[in-house]
Structure 1
Amino acid sequence: MNEQTPFSVCGETLMSPMHICGFFDSREQQYEVIIPYIMEGLSVNDKVINILESNRHGEHCRCLTDNGISIAQKLASGQLEVLASENTYIKDGKFAAEKMYTMLENTLVSASRAGYESVRACGDMVWALKNLPGTDELVAYEASLNILTPKHPCSLICMYDISNFSQDTLAEVLLTHPYVIKDGKINKNPHYIEASAVMAGFRN
């Protein structure tokens, strides 16, 4: 395991590496959690990555600016990246779990080489509602991140809109995250299952 680094979310100080599932019932609730998390990361020399649908980028950047973040400066320096789901999760119109895993791994390695203390990433998982080819790999992908994250100083928040995802999908996703954010609070997830067990289930 990599050296642990502290970070704060939902008013709690935790230690990375950490893979977190964020369940939100509104955009407002989502931002109440991630804005302080992002702001702290930018203030302590963390690399910060946000992945959202491209049609949300304008709103997202305005929200960051309204909270005192110098968007142009942080983007220009490379410390902050605001990426599109269409160019990451569902590049070429499909989800390829292995390619996304490799892209994330390369990002974590590059950030470390660039001198960042840690990486903080927030990914909006709304793309999975489009049911594009490969979406059935979502849960296996989420489980695989529990193999990747312990190797790097990072915290990853996978953001799910609980009003749009099915209860079955949310229940499966919950199995793959050691920590969960719900109702604005973060807790250790009692439903978490080790990656090897989840992935063995997909192979059977």
Structure 2
Amino acid sequence: MSANRTRERPIDDVGHGDHLCLAFADDAEQRRVVTSYLQVGLDRGERVLYFADQNTPGQVLNWLREAGTDPAAALDSGQLTVTTADDSYLADGPFDADAMVTALHKEVSDCLAAGYTGLRVSGEMSWALRDIPGADRLDEYERKVNAVFAGHAASAICQYDARRFDAASLHSFDRRHPAIVAPHPLFTSPSLDLVPSLRNGQQALRVIGDVDYHSFQAFSSALESILDWPGDLTVDMNSLQFIDLAGMRALVRTAERLRAGRRLHVVDLDPMLCEVMHVVGWDQIPSLSVTAREALA
């Protein structure tokens, strides 16, 4: 199992001690994760804090309502607070990483003293892309804030929009978190999983299992869906067990559809399959890059 997969945590399994990174490139994925995370916290009797930025607090509350959870009682009692980054991370103007860590420590103590079962926090981190003094300390903050959650009755999910943050920043923030939110598969079956993931700060489609006659249509549909991702595309073949000729042709067709300047990177492909791509001449397509999987020692 890859190191990345061992760091993944299904959203329904997030609990005390977790500080997770959610890197998303799809609004529906963000909404799915956030809604589930908030609902579970409310159901468990936790104090729930949400710091919005790209979305408004009203939009976040509507996510709950449309998922069948009326937030009114939790808002009235103080169990739920949905505010903005300007009124939380940036309440004093500049971003003060140390002050925010201290405030979160106090929130944990206060919520337990008030009888809640724990603290649950999620924030949209896009505010850091604005010209705000102290925003350059976000990486330091993510490292320091681990101590707020590790071993305590608290959890957090930090949300990074992969369409806004560059790959280097995403990779850095990802590594500052002990774990990441497990992405929702685009397709899953007993023989194949097609899962969006983050690889070195870039969105990737991870192919796990077999691409054959039975799963070809799902594979083609997944490739079609990632065409909307920003920048170059990456298909991670590290966990691929088998792919037939039709599946390989689907990769080629996807690369050929990219506009000038974009490339499809097929990475960690079995060396024998790389040789097939070379013999056929597909590796000469300008918009297609193929990298072989390293042999096991």
| Residue 178 (str. 1) matches residue 185 (str. 2) | no
- Report the TM-score, using the length of structure 1 for normalisation: 0.81
Q: Tell me the CA shift for residue 144 of structure 1.
A: 0.3
2:26 maps to amino acid: S
Q: 1:164 to 1:47 in 2, by over 3 A?
A: same
Whole-Å Cα distance in 1 between the matches of residues 182 and 67 of structure 2? Answer: 23
Most deviating of 96-105 and 146-155: 146-155
After superposition, residues 1-204 of structure 1 pair within 5 angstroms as 10=10, 12-53=12-53, 56-181=56-181, 183-184=183-184
Q: Tell me the CA shift for residue 36 of structure 1.
A: 1.6
1:21 maps to amino acid: C
Q: What secondary structure, in the 3-state scheme, does the structure 2 residue paired with 1:175 have?
A: helix
Bigger-Rg structure (1/2) = 2
Q: What secondary structure, in the 3-state scheme, does the structure 2 residue paired with 1:91 have?
A: coil
Whole-Å Cα distance in 2 between the matches of residues 101 and 127 of structure 1? Answer: 17
Number of aligned residues? 181
1:159 maps to amino acid: Q
Query: Is contact 1:19–1:146 with CA below 8 Å preserved after alignment?
Result: yes
Provide the identity percentage.
30
Q: 1:168 to 1:82 in 2, by over 3 A?
A: same
Q: Tell me the CA shift for residue 183 of structure 1.
A: 3.2
Unaligned runs of 5+ in 2: 1-8, 186-194, 201-297
Q: Tell me the CA shift for residue 11 of structure 1.
A: 5.3
Structure number having the greater helix percentage = 1
Whole-Å Cα distance in 2 between the matches of residues 137 and 11 of structure 1? Answer: 27
Q: 1:153 to 1:69 in 2, by over 3 A?
A: same
Q: Could you list the per-position Cα deviations for residues 74-111 of structure 1 after superposition, in whole angstroms to 9, with x for gaps in the alignment?
A: 10111111121001112233211011111111111111
Higher relative contact order (CA 8 A, sep 6+): 1
- Report the TM-score, using the length of structure 2 for normalisation: 0.56
Q: 1:31 to 1:11 in 2, by over 3 A?
A: same
Please report the RMSD computed on the Cα atoms of aligned residues, expressed in angstroms: 2.4
The residue number in structure 1 matching 2:282 is: none
Q: 1:32 to 1:14 in 2, by over 3 A?
A: closer
2:84 maps to amino acid: A
2:20 maps to amino acid: I
Most deviating of 137-146 and 61-70: 61-70
